[in-house]
Structure 1
Amino acid sequence: MVVPPDSPQAAQLKIEPVRMREIAVDEVTAPGRVGIDPNRSSRLLLPVAGRIVAVLAKVGDAVEQGQRVLSLDSPDADAAIAAAIQAEAAERQAQSTLSKADADLARTTELYEHHAVAQKDMLGAQNDQAQARAALETARAALYQAKRKLELLELKPSGEPRPIVQVRAPISGKVLEVNVAPGEYRNDTGTPLMTIADLSRVWIASDVPESAIRLIRVGERVTITMVAYPGEEFEGRVARIADVLDPQTRTVKVYVEMANLRGRFRPEMFATIRHAGDSRPTPVVPVGAIVQEYGRPIVFLERAPGRFERREVVLGTRAGEFIPVVSGVRAGERIVVDGGVLLKDR
């Protein structure tokens, strides 16, 4: 087709040579979704059954590890204090019994040496001492166990009329879910009452096709784009690759870890991961140079000033503002990069 160089239409055509660029080979692109890093999430459970006195954190609050988030009035707390007091008394009694058994054995030994008592009395005193020592060890073990329970519940055997159990945040992070209210009585200590997650790092769960999973390895860097932030690119690291293939979708879950210090990435946001392999020089053309004709991509090649030829091309995966050309044009050939639609109907 011919377009006179001095015509108004020619003035609207922008012509440039096809360039060479380093383009990644075996690039993998897969959809994904932002999720919580399971290694940075915790579900809060009650240590004992009881009535909720106060909920000290609400959804969206930032909490620190060890911060009080629940207060609990529990009969188990009273029982734990009573058990500790009883264990202390039992330990003192066992100590006193052992002291008496030691004294009895010493006196019996002295009498036996002077032939004042029979051997069976000596053996009886030794047996009493052994039993007293064993009883003391048992009492000390029970006291340790009782004190350990008080320590876990953060209680002291001070005789308080109404001991309150304080439940603390196991990790630092944000409260994502609260499933309890003041006044409720909870006796199921296996049901989570609160979910806390550290969102300073998040995971992208992506479904990578079976045919491309061989190209991705744990520890490799990937590029991430997100629907919420068009035009921006982020970097992450492959943290885990699932061991099982989804038989329905023929994909493998790939988990990518990425920093989220500013809190921009929220769970359930849509994302796309891109993993590039080795790169090689490849002809590229601007996106605007491609014209669709009957469903096929074409470009307009300048054969001479004012003379153009349609050329069907095979394209690779778009890389920014450029598209790799697998076949159809070579580097250095001059094509219409803007205004090609004006030539489409000629």
Structure 2
Amino acid sequence: MINYKSTLIPALLIIVAIACNRPKAAPAKGNAVWDSVLQNVQTAPVKEEDASECIKLNGQIQANEDHQAKVYALASGKIKSVNVALGDKVQKNQTLAVLQSMEIAASSNDLVLAESNVAMTKKNLETTKDLYEGNLATSRDYTSAQVDYNKALSELNRAKQVQAITGGRNAVYELKAPLSGYVIERNISGNSQVRQDNSNPLFTVADLSNVWVIANVYESDISRIHNGDAVSVTTLANPNTPLDGKIDKIYNVLDPATRTMKVRISMPNPNNTLMPDMFVTVKVNAQPASSMLTIPSQAIVLDNSKNFVVVKDAKGLHKKEITVIKRVDPKAYIQGLSAGEQVVTNSQVFIYQALSE
């Protein structure tokens, strides 16, 4: 009994060798070698499908700006301790760093003085009121005492508001996390000096349960991109795990340097697999066009700048020239065949050579 699988490649080589010596036509039925080829070729049907537009974009993961906070020092001072590192998970109101600040010492002192001044002016107001009621003080004296007390209250309120904003007391100022999340930026080290007018945040804390994918659209593709278009996002870290999403914002501004426009995809990130600054590939499935014929891309044979396939039917194997409209990963949209025809998807190059003149 003949082992067809073991004889397939030698059979193809014999056919190719014959093809090099004389003009070729398909071998006749009953040829054992050719029958072996017919029995072992793999085929795929020509299908009619919607020709959805697939546009490939490059992009990057960013923290969701609505779920992040930048932490600045509201007072100058010296770093006493830094309690978190880059990438640490923190809870809301957790202390990130501690500063020793003369400004905080001054504001604490102002609060104490304001409290003392309120107590003193209140006592003076009560005394003046008693004297006024006993006709031992004038109305002007009583009014002046009321004004002094109100001023003291106002100054105390201001001192309390300053302390509430800075959160410091007794020369110690604590930088606290404004929300729960991860430390994605840190520009601080122990024993360094911090200025209040520093334009760079000391920390950036972000909730990464939802992130943004910011992708670049080339100028030639802008007209084919719309809000709501479905996308598939893959990362270099997990190229075989595509994530589905939709474009939810189009930034209608063209970057003059790169000639690209940015689009945004909000992505849920429950397992924190998407991290800021990761590079991603975004495939946009634009609105479907008219239906077209598709075949596996691997079935196509390129010969002399023309595209061919090997078709298997009741008469055997024969080649056909086709027109490739576009390729989308493993699929090719073509013209020149009919739906339902079977194209060869293995060893098609060798078979094509055997069938060629």
Regarding TM over 0.5, the answer is yes
Helix, strand or coil for the counterpart of 1:256?
Answer: strand
How far did 1:189 drift?
4.3
Cα pair 1:32 1:206 within 8 Å, conserved: yes
Q: After TM superposition, list the pairs within 5 Å mapping 1:1-346 onto structure 2.
A: 1-5=25-29, 6=32, 7=34, 8-24=36-52, 26-108=53-135, 125-155=138-168, 163-190=171-198, 191-279=200-288, 280-302=290-312, 304-318=314-328, 321-325=330-334, 327-345=335-353, 346=356
The aligned amino acid for 2:303 is E
Give 1:117's aligned residue. none
How far did 1:40 drift?
2.9
How far apart are the structure 1 equivalents of 2:146 and 2:119? 12
Q: Deviations for 1:217-269, whole angstroms, at most 9, x for unmatched residues?
A: 44554221233322321022324322311234432111211122212222333
Distance 1:312 1:175, change over 3 A: same
- Identity, % of aligned positions: 25
Cα pair 2:60 2:277 within 8 Å, conserved: yes
Cα pair 1:236 1:257 within 8 Å, conserved: yes
The aligned amino acid for 1:76 is E
Helix, strand or coil for the counterpart of 1:136?
Answer: helix
Q: Deviations for 1:159-189, whole angstroms, at most 9, x for unmatched residues?
A: xxx6422211122222233332222232344
TM-score where L is the length of structure 2: 0.81
Distance 1:192 1:249, change over 3 A: closer
Distance 1:236 1:183, change over 3 A: same
How far apart are the structure 1 equivalents of 2:238 and 2:229? 23
Helix, strand or coil for the counterpart of 2:345?
Answer: strand
Cα pair 1:17 1:331 within 8 Å, conserved: yes
The aligned amino acid for 1:262 is N
Distance 1:189 1:249, change over 3 A: closer
How far apart are the structure 1 equivalents of 2:279 and 2:201? 28
How far did 1:55 drift?
0.7
5+ long unaligned stretches in structure 2:
1-24
How far apart are the structure 1 equivalents of 2:304 and 2:276? 42
Give 2:22's aligned residue. none
Distance 1:310 1:176, change over 3 A: same
Query: Size of the alignment, in residue pairs?
Result: 324
Cα pair 1:301 1:311 within 8 Å, conserved: no
Cα pair 2:229 2:285 within 8 Å, conserved: no
How far did 1:74 drift?
1.3
